[in-house]
Copies of this chain bind each other. A is one copy, B any other.
Amino acid sequence: MQKVLDYLKQHQDRFLAEFCDYLRFASVSAQPQHKKDLVACAEWLVAHCRNIGLDARLCETAGHPIVIAKTPGRKAEGGKRKAEDKSRKPHCLVYGHYDVQPPEPLDLWTTPPFEPRITGRNLFARGSTDNKGQNFAHLKAVEAYLKTGTPLPCDLTFVLEGEEEVGSKSLSGFLKAHRQELACDTIVVSDTGMPAPNHPALTYALRGIIAFEITLHGPARDLHSGIFGGAVENPAMAMAQLLAKVRDHHGVIQIPGFYEDVAALSKYERDQIKRYPLSDAKLKKLLGAKELFGERGFTPTEQRSSRPTFEINGLTSGYQGEGSKTIVPAWARAKITCRLVPNQKPAHVRKIVCDWLKQNCPSTVRMEIAAGHGAEAYMVSPTSDAAQAALRALEKAFGTKPILMREGGSIPIVNEFKKVLGADTLLLGIGLPDDNAHSPDEKFNLDCFENGQRMSAFLWQELAA
C-alpha cells in the first residue's frame, strides 16, 4: 500500500497537467453545438484509461457516448452474485460524468471556463469539481495500483457518462443492456460535496428532481404597447402572478399536496445535520446574499438538504437587449425545477404541480408545459458494511473523523443503479461548498484532489476487508 501512496505523491505534477487536458474539452451536454466536444472528450478518456492499464472502450448511445473502463483480468460473471462466495474479489463500479453545465454567463468568469487556471491550491475551470476532478481522482488511484504492480483488492469498472447534466437519458438503457457485465457489490460515486477541506463526509441521502418549462402565450406577436397596451393581457404579468402564488412569504410552497409524502426528519438526523460545520453567518457570506431565506421551521442546512423546493431557474419574456422596447410580449417562459426529498415520487409531484399550474393559469393566456427530466431522491443506511468501510477510508485519507450528511443535489442515476443492478451507492464527494459548481469561476481544491486519490486507494482495501 505504501508503494501506491508514494506513487500518488510522486506524480502529482503530471496528474495536474493531465487533469487540465481533461478540462479543456468544452463538454457541455445541454448545448447541441458542443456534441463533437463531448465525443472528443470521451475518446480522450478511453485513450487515457488504456494508458493507465485499464481495458477501456467507448460505447455509442442515442445521446453522448459512455466510457467503460475495467481493471484487467476480471472474468465475466452472470446472474445474481452470491454474498457467501468469499473467494472472489468484490466488484465495484465507479461512476462519474465527463459532461459539464453550460458555462454562461461568460462575462462573469475571471478567465475563460475551458482554459484551466491554477491559483494557490485551486484549479479554476468549468467541470473542475463537477465532475471531472472527482472522477479523475479515482482514475489516478487505480493508476497507482496498476503502475506499481500492487494487487487491487477489488475488481473495478468505471462508468463515465456524458449526459448527467441533462438527465442521464441514455445511461438507464445502457445499464439494462449491460446488466451482467455491470453486476456489482457496491457503487462508488464522488459527485457530492464535503463541508470543508478538513471535514470529509459520507453522504447518505440526496434530493430528487423534476424539471419542466412553462410557456404562457398571449397575443400572436409582440404588440406596440402604446397602441394596444391596456386591452390585452401581458403574458409576463400573467407569469408573474402565476408564479407568485406558488410560494408564500414564509417560503412555504402553496401547492396542495406538495409536502404530503415528505419523510420527516428524525431526531437522529437533525442531530447529525447539526454537526455540519458551516454556520449560518458563513453560509450567508458564501452565497453573498442579503440574508438567508427558506421554509419556515427548518434550519438552512435542513432547508437545502432535506426539504423540497420550487425553483425558478430562468425567466424569459419580451425584449432583453439594451435600452427599452415598448411592447406587450407575445409570450413568457419560466424554466422550473423542484428538488424532491426521500419518499416523494417524481411522477406524482409533477402531476400535482402541473395540475395546479393549469388550474391557476389565467384564462387570458394559453399555457404550455414541457416536461423535463425527473429523478427520485435517494437514501441509504449509513451503518452498512460498505458505508463503514467508506468511513474508515475517509478517515485514513484525510486524517480526521468524517461526518454523515444529506446533500441537496440530485444524482438521478443512483436510484437507477439500485433498481437495475441491485446495489447501494456510496456517495464520497470531495467538492467544497465554495467550488462554484454550476456557477461562473467553478474550481476544484487540489488538496481535495490529492486526498481524494488517497481515499480511493484506501477504499478498495477497506471494501475488501
Contacts and interface: CB of A to CB of B under 8 A. Distances in A.
Contact of A339 (B229, B244, B320): B229
A196 interface: no
A304 B230 contact: yes
Interface in A291-343: 291-295, 300-301, 303-304, 307-309, 311-329, 332, 334-335, 337, 339
A335 B325 contact: yes
Given A312-B318, A314-B317, A324-B337, A410 B289 contact: no
Given A225-B339, A244-B240, A30 B323 contact: yes
B407 A227 contact: yes
A290 B365 contact: yes
A220 B40 CA distance: 34
Interface string A238-251: 01110111110100
Interface in A389-424: 407-410
Contact of A237 (B243, B339, B366): B243
Interface stretch (A3-11, A139-147, A434-442): A434-442
Interface stretch (A47-55, A84-92, A101-109): A101-109
A372 to B, nearest CB: 5
Contact of A321 (B30, B243, B283): B30
B337 A312 contact: no
Given A289-B220, A312-B329, A329-B313, A303 B239 contact: no
A363 interface: yes
Interface residues of A, number: 103
Given A288-B221, A314-B317, A30 B325 contact: yes
A333 B127 CA distance: 28
B292 A231 contact: yes
Nearest to A373: B324
Given A230-B295, A433-B227, A321 B221 contact: no
Contacts of A30: 321-325
Interface in A91-126: 101-102, 104-105, 108
A32 interface: yes
Interface in A336-387: 337, 339, 362-366, 372-373
A78 interface: no
A287 interface: yes
Nearest to A208: B226
Contact of A240 (B232, B240, B329): B240
A50 B288 CA distance: 60
Contact of A211 (B229, B324, B407): B324
A65 interface: no
A408 B31 contact: no
Contact of A207 (B222, B226, B325, B373): B226
Given A229-B339, A240-B240, 10 more contacts: A31-B323, A130-B224, A221-B288, A222-B439, A224-B439, A225-B309, A231-B301, A233-B293, A244-B245, A313-B319
Interface of A: 30-32, 101-102, 104-105, 108, 130, 166, 193, 207, 209, 211, 213, 217-234, 236-237, 239-241, 243-247, 249, 283, 287-295, 300-301, 303-304, 307-309, 311-329, 332, 334-335, 337, 339, 362-366, 372-373, 407-410, 433, 436-441
27 contacts: A101-B325, A102-B319, A211-B326, A219-B289, A220-B287, A227-B304, A230-B303, A231-B287, A231-B304, A232-B294, A233-B291, A236-B243, A244-B244, A244-B245, A290-B366, A291-B363, A311-B328, A313-B319, A314-B320, A314-B325, A315-B316, A315-B317, A315-B329, A324-B337, A324-B373, A326-B337, A327-B438
Q: Nearest 9 CB-CB pairs, A to B? A: A220-B288, A226-B409, A244-B244, A30-B323, A236-B312, A314-B318, A240-B243, A231-B300, A315-B317
